[in-house]
Structure 1
Amino acid sequence: MKQPALDPDVADVAPNESVLTTYDEQHLVTYWRLLDAEAAGADWKEVARIVLHIDPDREPVRARNAFDSHLARARWMADHGYRDLLRGGTTE
């Protein structure tokens, strides 16, 4: 696995696969930042703006969908996906 980018651009919707994806590996830092923001009780709009680089005032539906899907994926990574990382990452 290559070193994940510190602040990558994100897709409008995070993957919903049952296995680790290349996108997941590239967005590990994004997922960690989302989980940290959630634990700190940060406002989702601020997180969308800072972490996902989507302005929720200009694109409220896109921002909310991206936030919700990436946070869900971050939770999946914390509960399940990390196992694939420990095994060496994706096979793609």
Structure 2
Amino acid sequence: MLAVNRPTFLDEPPVSDKLTDYDRAHFKLYMRLLHAEADGSNWEEAVAILFGIDPSAEPERALRIHDAHLARARWTSEHFYREMVRQSHH
């Protein structure tokens, strides 16, 4: 199988009450996670495709990475627009 160019990622995104550089760099990944969830995709399939992690080889890490990034994706989707509007007025 060909490797897909993926941005590097942390096991858990940085926690902040503001958008981070990490959030901006991984915005497309966040949106893909949200779309996968909305489509009812299996988390194992999503983590394998989006992060390149084999959930059968690293089940705990794969789930932790998926859940942490999905939670941040949800937060980002709620706060991104407001943050961008605020930044555009400065």
Which interval holds the TM-score relative to the shorter structure? 0.7 to 0.9
Summarize deviations over 1:19-72 as a string: whole Å, max 9, x none. Answer: 110000000000000000000000000000001221111111111100000000
Alpha carbons of structure 1 residues 60 and 33: separation in structure 2 relative to 1, 3 Å: same
Higher mean displacement: 10-19 or 64-73: 10-19
Contact 1:9–1:53, Cα closer than 8 Å, also in 2 = no
Q: Structure 2 CA distance, aligned partners of 1:27 and 1:82?
A: 15
Percent identity for Structure 1 against Structure 2: 45
Report the equivalent of 2:81: 82
- Cα root mean square deviation, aligned: 1.7
2:29 and 2:87 mapped to 1: Cα distance?
19
Normalized against structure 1, the TM-score is what? 0.82
Could you list the structure 1 runs, at least 4 aligned residues long, displaced by more than 6 angstroms after superposition: none
| SS in structure 1 at match of 2:36 | helix
TM-score w.r.t. the length of structure 2 is 0.84
The structure number with the bigger radius of gyration is 2
Residue in 2 that maps onto 1:25: 24
